A and B are shown apart, each in its own frame.
Chain A
Amino acid sequence: MSAERIELGPDEVRHVATLARLGLDDAEVERLAGELETILGHVATISALPIADVPPTAHSLDVAGALREDVAKPGVTREQALANAPDPSVDGFRVPPIGS
């Protein structure tokens, strides 16, 4: 399989992990840097294709958004909505402070 040469340093891997809200340890950063270089190197084989004039396809269906009547229907109860929460309060989802 032909491949482009992509280089990804630990800082760039950590930056992407931050964007993805993934906490990675140093060993994971090192392993992922190598794996992503290989995978992105293969993926980059399409970057040289001279196809700038081709329209991109986001979706294989040629239909516009489906609409339905805006009618209120019964939803889930508060109790049901909170049933799977790891840390529910009586009326919401409890989370740690937003800023440290």
Chain B
Amino acid sequence: MAAIDVIGLTAERAAAMLRAGECSSEELAGAYLERIEAFDPALHAYLHVDPELTLAAARTQDQSGNVGLAGVPIAYKDLLSTKGVPTTAGSKILEGFIPLEDADVVARGNAAGLVSLGKTNLDEFAMGSSTEHSAYGPTRNPWDQTRVPGGSSGGSAAVVAAGLAPWSLGTDTGGSIRQPAAFCGLVGLMPTYGTVSRFGVVAFACSLEQVGPMTLTVRDCALLQQVIAGGSERDATCVGLREPIVLPEPGRLDGVRFGVPWAELEDGVDPGIRERFDASLKLATELGAELVDVELPYARHGLAAYYVIAPAEASANLSRFDGVRYGLRVDGPDLRSMYEATRSAGFGPEVKRRIMIGTYALSAGYHDAYYVQAQRVRTLIRRDFDAAFLGVDAILLPTAPTTAFPMGARMDDPLAMYANDIFTLPVNLAGIPALSIPNGLVEGLPSGLQIIGAAHTENTLLRFGAAFEQAIGFDPVPPTLRGGAA
């Protein structure tokens, strides 16, 4: 088999190589599988890899002629159901679960001819910002293996950064695509709520989450969004795209107005992150854009509102794990003790914490003070964004206030872990799209620039992203992995 150097290989280039007959899909998948074998034992980014299944799928694509993106490999977050292939959501309670159907996004990937390399690690039920809450052990950051890759889609980020997949799908409920993309030097898109089907996504907080691409380039991000976005009759909240996703070309930003919410940057942002953010603002003006002060006065209450709404929805969604129809069962003398023993053994500490917060916030006497009040704040955050977008084309913020933190650093302080999503979760509360792109290194670690837009402005965000991407000139290959040494 020809040795193909896949580190840093974009999906766009891989598709071109396949179409030109420079390699077969089987050879390409084989090259990734070799790297997975060499590097994944240290990173622990994949939860499930089945080389025979992958190579068989690749051969099928080779036989059909590899048109479009056909034959390009991909990795799927293990929150996405895959027919006949184990899907755990990072939880012991779903160990051994084999879905009967593919998630819509996986079915769309299959229809486009994408070849699955496997399922990636995540914080249990996508609850976390470091992938340390996976019941199957943490994933390490390819840029620095003593640090977290971010989360909850940390496995999906690590595999792309380490060249163990050309691109991947993650899910984003409060920053779970954008923050790991920022921590691992990738592009990540949180799409407008309702443009991508959630059918077959193991549910955490239905009103907040979307599936989205994690890629090496903005153009790959657009290509993958073209594959996964679109209406579905299997998800009643999926209205699809208002306009087709266009492949962006880098260019200038003349006449573009970017909003900067200065007040949100006043505290809690690491100086190195702030420096990179300020440098990107300078680039924006050099490209012809204008910076405009915007105010998002309720965004600072997003963290509190989010940690009522998301756990409340989670406590309801996770009630389905009862030891009856699927997953783990721990027996007891009666039904209720079986429920309690099963859920106690099957859920990890962070999931229990969120179920408890959500149940408390929804319980009699507290519902109005917590849940309804949080929903009012959600209204005000939406209004803040609506008002800001009357005067600007997009809002710029750092994706996360820090770079990747050391493993274990925040495990004993849930609030400090939650606070890492301070700049991402208002976007989920508002249901609007945001693109995170690499914004250079801070002491050797990637940082992210977040470009936030009004609903259904993905094409605008991708165009801005492509302009920044070219101007920033970031190399997404970690130095220790350069040269394809396996």
Contact = CB atoms under 8 A, between A and B. Distances in A.
Contacts of B308: 43, 46
A97 B360 contact: no
B458 to A, nearest CB: 15
Given A22-B356, A96-B332, A98-B334, A83 B343 contact: no
Interface in B199-251: 207, 233, 236-237, 239
Contacts of B431: 59-61
A49 interface: yes
B415 interface: yes
A97 B322 CA distance: 14
Contacts of B376: 49, 51-52, 54-57
A32 B382 CA distance: 32
B97 interface: yes
Contact of B363 (A19, A59, A60, A96): A19
Most buried by B among A43, A45, A52, A66: A43
Contact of A40 (B237, B329, B360): B360
A44 B331 CA distance: 38
B324 interface: yes
Interface string B312-346: 00010001001111111101111111111101100
Interface residues of A, number: 53
B377 A46 contact: yes
Contacts, number: 176
A23 B329 contact: no
Interface stretch (B137-145, B174-182, B272-280, B297-305): B297-305
For the complex, would chain B's binding face be called helix, strand, loop or mixed by DSSP majority? helix
Given A19-B363, A87-B329, A35 B353 contact: yes
Nearest to B307: A43
A20 interface: yes
Given A16-B363, A85-B324, A98-B335, A1 B341 contact: no
A54 B377 CA distance: 8
A21 to B, nearest CB: 4
Given A43-B304, A46-B373, A95-B335, A60 B430 contact: yes
A18 B431 CA distance: 33
B363 A54 contact: no
Given A32-B352, A85-B325, A60 B304 contact: no
Contacts of A65: 236
Contact of A21 (B98, B236, B328, B336): B336
Contact of B194 (A46, A61, A76): A61
For the complex, would chain A's binding face be called helix, strand, loop or mixed by DSSP majority? loop
Contacts of A56: 372, 375-376, 378-379
Given A1-B415, A51-B373, A57-B378, A42 B303 contact: yes
A76 B83 CA distance: 13
A46 B307 CA distance: 11
B249 to A, nearest CB: 30
A36 B301 contact: no
B100 interface: yes
A96 B335 contact: yes
A24 B325 CA distance: 23
A84 B386 CA distance: 45
Contact of A61 (B239, B338, B419): B239
Interface string B339-373: 11101100100001101110111010000011011
Contacts of A51: 373, 376-377, 380
Contact of A84 (B326, B373, B419, B432): B326
Contacts of B373: 46-47, 49, 51
A74 interface: no
Interface string B443-474: 00000000000000000000000000000000
A42 B415 contact: yes
Given A17-B356, A66-B236, A100 B326 contact: no
Contact of A38 (B329, B414, B429): B414
A35 B414 contact: yes
Nearest to B341: A23
Given A58-B207, A59-B207, A61-B237, A39 B414 contact: yes
B377 A28 contact: no
Contacts of B328: 86
19 contacts: A16-B359, A16-B363, A20-B343, A22-B340, A35-B353, A39-B353, A43-B357, A43-B370, A45-B301, A46-B308, A47-B373, A49-B301, A54-B376, A54-B379, A59-B207, A66-B236, A66-B237, A76-B100, A84-B98
Given A21-B336, A22-B344, 19 more contacts: A22-B343, A23-B343, A36-B360, A43-B370, A46-B305, A46-B373, A47-B373, A49-B301, A51-B376, A52-B376, A56-B375, A59-B431, A60-B431, A61-B194, A81-B100, A84-B325, A86-B326, A96-B337, A98-B334
